[in-house]
Amino acid sequence: MKALILAGGMGVRLRPITDTRPKPLIPILCRPILDWHLSNLSRINVIDSVRIVVSYMKEKIQSFVENRGYGVQYEFIDQVEELGTGDAVIKGVKGLGYDDEILIVYGDVYLSDLSIIEKIASMDGNVVLGARVGDPEKYGVLIVENGFLKRIEEKPVNPPSNLVFTGISKLKVGDVIEHSDIGFSVRGEIEFTDILTRIANSRRLRVIEIDGENWVDIGYPWNVIEANKLALKSIGRDIRGLIEDHVTIKGNVYVGEGSEIKSGTYIEGPVYIDKHVEVGPNARIRPYSVICSGSRIGFSVEVKESVIMENVHASHLSYIGDSVICENVNLGAGTMIANLRFDNKPVKVTINGKRISSGRRKFGAVIGANVKTGVNVSIMPGVKIGSNTWISPGSVVWVDVPQNSFYKSSVSYTIEELKEH
């Protein structure tokens, strides 16, 4: 059996994270999503090779896989034009035998229990994996009858079910080929869900269900936090670095080799601290925080439920709450990231020019790679700062800042009657 990972797509909704890395290289516990999938697939006995469909930043994906090395044969397929998931699957099965089976995995989904993929691979016939979620209108909704798929409705306004497609399926290659003659959807893409619906109309397509709490589709910046939060629930206590005297560590905390936790630091698990990280003195790391290699969280810096990628420096007197901080960011002394609205409503974020709810009462900032903030910078909830941008000292960042920019806010004020108390 072959496996097929869909690793294309520009990840526009994930910007500025995807300014400098493709979606499959977004880290979960400091490991790219793609690494989780390839490591898992290489352990499944019935999988003899893996095909990886690439497009956006394909060189970075190819370099990562080739340098990492896996115990399974792999090959890359260039999608060339990004015409949608259906197009990626059609190109991914090209040249395979009609009677071959293909295990298809979207490269931007995270499962807490990867053994379900092995279970699907070992089942007879065509299979799709569904998850029960609270917001089915955001996904392809599975319409099921007697355990078999009837059709998929893509992002319906009034979902007929809360069971959605997870991006994982096993199909006979011939069935994919026979039902691949589809047009563009209303979104202007060739949708894999349309192929699945056509297969379901003429073949038996079994549906397996999991709890949606064990699955995250990483389509928006806050999903990066949610996926890492899910992964953190499965870690144990493992201290491999140097812990100075007068450090408090509570709960399940991982500290990697070469890391140093300095005196006065207080860590509440679950927390993941990668290799060669420096924390403290007198820092506070709160639950569901991930800090990746080469980063420094210094004196009187507090981190709460955030994903901090490689080589981030927050050396003094800063607060990072419910945020995603990309690689090589330097936060000047006194940089504060706000994460809560006065009215306690869910934080809104601008995605593709539209204001949408993150669904999170607390959500901070998304800061792209190579950003520098001056001293005493304040960043408001839901703000995104593009990569390679500088923020002037003393600035208050109220709006999204594009990449390769210099942001400086002016000092002004208004006084109005407070109508709500």
Amino acid at 230: L
The pLDDT of residue 180 is 79
Which letter, b or e, does each residue of 262-276 get, where b requires 16 or more Cβ atoms within 10 Å of its Cβ? bebbbbbbbbbbbeb
Same domain, 60 and 201: yes
The answer to whether position 134 is within a domain reads yes
The answer to whether position 269 is within a domain reads yes
Query: What gap in Å lies between CA 375 and CA 395, rounded to an integer?
Result: 9
* Average pLDDT of the segment spanning 45-67: 94
Please list, in sequence order, all residues whose beta carbon lies within 8 angstroms of the beta carbon of residue 172, skipping any fewer than 6 positions away: 99, 100, 101, 102, 126
Same domain, 48 and 132: yes
Same domain, 280 and 206: no
Same domain, 186 and 266: no
- If one compares 180 and 334, the residue with the highest pLDDT of the two is 334
Same domain, 10 and 152: yes
Please list, in sequence order, all residues whose beta carbon lies within 8 angstroms of the beta carbon of residue 419, skipping any fewer than 6 positions away: none
Helix, strand, coil % over all residues of the chain, rounded to 5: 20, 35, 45
pLDDT tens digits, residue range 195-215? 999 999 988 999 999 999 999
The answer to whether position 224 is within a domain reads no
CA atoms within 13 A on the CB side of 29: 19
> Which residue is it, tokens 């450090």?
247
Residue 292 is encoded by which pair of tokens? 């990746």
Same domain, 47 and 87: yes
Angle between the 85-93 and 192-202 helix axes, to the nearest 10 degrees?
Answer: 70
Amino acid at 143: I
> Which residue is it, tokens 């144990």?
236
Nearest to 300 by CA among 251, 266, 258: 266
Same domain, 141 and 181: yes
pLDDT tens digits, residue range 373-393? 999 999 999 999 999 999 999
CATH classification of the domain holding 258? 2.160.10.10
Say whether pLDDT at 27 is over 60: yes
Helix (H) or strand (E) holding 193: helix 192-202
Nearest to 321 by CA among 349, 335, 300, 302: 302
Same domain, 283 and 147: no
Query: What gap in Å lies between CA 40 and CA 108, rounded to an integer?
Result: 15
The answer to whether position 187 is within a domain reads yes
* Average pLDDT of the segment spanning 273-295: 98
pLDDT tens digits, residue range 36-50? 999 999 999 899 999
Q: Of all residues in the chain, what percent carry a pLDDT higher than 90?
A: 81
Same domain, 146 and 276: no
The answer to whether position 415 is within a domain reads no
Query: What gap in Å lies between CA 224 and CA 26, rounded to an integer?
Result: 8
The pLDDT of residue 91 is 93
Q: Is the pTM of this model over 0.85?
A: yes
Backbone angles phi, psi at 205, to 5 degrees: -125, 95
Same domain, 14 and 52: yes
The pLDDT of residue 391 is 97
Residue 86 is encoded by which pair of tokens? 């259906």
Q: 219, 254, 273 — which closes off a domain?
A: 219
Backbone angles phi, psi at 386, to 5 degrees: -70, 160
CATH classification of the domain holding 51? 3.90.550.10
The pLDDT of residue 420 is 66
In this structure, are residues 318 and 301 in contact, taking their beta carbons and an 8 Å threshold? yes
Same domain, 282 and 369: yes
The answer to whether position 418 is within a domain reads no
* Average pLDDT of the segment spanning 156-172: 93
The answer to whether position 420 is within a domain reads no
Nearest to 323 by CA among 274, 363, 353: 363
Residue 364, domain extent: 232-407
Amino acid at 312: V
Q: 219, 247, 270 — which closes off a domain?
A: 219
DSSP letter string, 213-250: GGEEE--SHHHHHHHHHHHHTT---EE-SEE-TT-EEE
Say whether pLDDT at 155 is over 90: no
Backbone angles phi, psi at 140, to 5 degrees: -80, 115
The pLDDT of residue 421 is 56
Calculate the average pLDDT of the chain.
94
Query: What gap in Å lies between CA 143 and CA 160, rounded to an integer?
Result: 8
The answer to whether position 33 is within a domain reads yes
Same domain, 59 and 207: yes
Number of structural domains the chain divides into: 2
DSSP letter string, 7-71: -----GGGTTGGGSS-GGG-EETTEEHHHHHHHHHTT-TT--EEEEEE-TTHHHHHHHHHHH--S
Q: 194, 219, 244 — which closes off a domain?
A: 219
